[in-house]
Amino acid sequence: MAPRTQIFEDRPSDEAIAGFRAGMAPFWHPVMESAALTEAPSPVELLGRRLVLARFDGAVHVFPDTCAHFQAQLSLGKVVVVDGKPALQCPYHGWAFGADGRCARIPQLPEGRAIPAAADIPAFRAREAYGLIWVCLEAEATFDLPPFPEYDDDTFRKVRLAEPEDTATSSTRMIMGTLDDTHFPWVHEGILGDQDHPEPPDHEVWREGSQLVLRYEAEQPAGLFNGGAGNGSVKLLYTDYVGMPNVIRLVKDSPGGRYVIWLATCPLDWNRTRNFWIFARNYDMAPERDATFTEMAAHVRMQDKPIIESQRPWLLPPFWSKVELPIRPGDLPLIQYQKWLEELGIVTAI
């Protein structure tokens, strides 16, 4: 048997970073909460690129956050009207760009001279869903957004968790850590697991369109996330849906009701991720209970954060590298997720 490869450097190779950025580009990524984008342009980051978001007549438009003139930040500018149409105006010399990225005005241009095509900037695709602004850096997205049926279902109470800081890991490791159920007894003992019973569940894993689906039964301590208050343990049915490659929806069904954990990750770059969480429940519905659920969700999240941030390399290494040692049957969901990432060209090198 060939020995496992060891990583001694504290970062992946330039080849792995380039592969991650290119592989993740043709997907929808959440970059900002919709409500946060008002009249003023806003800077965001995605896959190592500086971008600017702006609303033209209510619709979101996305451009590089650099003017074609002298590379000033367009996010420091404002939305103006040029020839009856909205445009994003640079704060440095007043150049303005329309919805398609075409340069609509150069104040310094002599009268009668046409605006050169080189003055145009790219315009990226944007859409709004689930209270978030999503951006795709390619002309066509590989997959559509995954469904989130509880979001518009009034029988569910929804709360958002706003993390105070970004996570020092890759988006794919963040999803893998959320998908991983065998860490529950060790990281979340007394809440989601018991170290006296660390046996992995019997997983069913399959692909369904653009989603990786996982189903298993588990017994966990009774509590907020498992159908409400109580003592002892409760039997649960988990059905997890990974919207490849950056969204996950964990559905927990118990005798007390359904609890849903929804996470959409924004890959700021290969080693930094911004997380957007929504939690939905159809029990214990009083609004005044939201704070209790949010505090517990934040506590569980903070248990995970230092562990996930400690993993090296930040990017998942390909199976052929033998850097990591996944073990069946417990790691089957993680194996299947990573296998699909390799097929999508996201995991390419060490």
Helix axes 171-179, 290-310, angle to 10 degrees: 120
Contact 145, 27 (CB under 8 A): no
What's the pLDDT at 8? 61
Low-confidence ranges of the chain (pLDDT < 50): none
Q: How far apart are CA 66 and CA 81, in angstroms?
A: 20
Residues 175-184: tens digit of each pLDDT: 999 999 989 8
Structural domain spans, the chain: 38-136, 149-343
Sequence letter at residue 335: I
Helix axes 171-179, 332-343, angle to 10 degrees: 150
Question: Kind of pairing, strands 228-243 and 247-254?
Answer: antiparallel
What's the pLDDT at 318? 95
Residues contacting 312, CB < 8 A, separation 6+: 7, 10
Fold category of 149-343 in CATH: Naphthalene 1,2-dioxygenase Alpha Subunit; Chain A, domain 1 (3.90.380)
How many residues does this entry show for the chain? 350
Q: What is the CATH number of domain 38-136?
A: 2.102.10.10
What's the pLDDT at 3? 63
Q: What is the DSSP letter of 124?
A: B
DSSP letters, 178-245, are HH--TTHHHHSBTTTB-TT--PPP--EEEEETTEEEEEEEEEEEEEGGGTEEEEEEEEEEEEEEEETT
In this structure, what token pair is assigned to residue 271? 């080693």
Q: How far apart are CA 139 and CA 125, in angstroms?
A: 7
- Residue 98 CA neighbour count, 13 Å, CB half: 11
pTM (predicted TM-score): 0.94
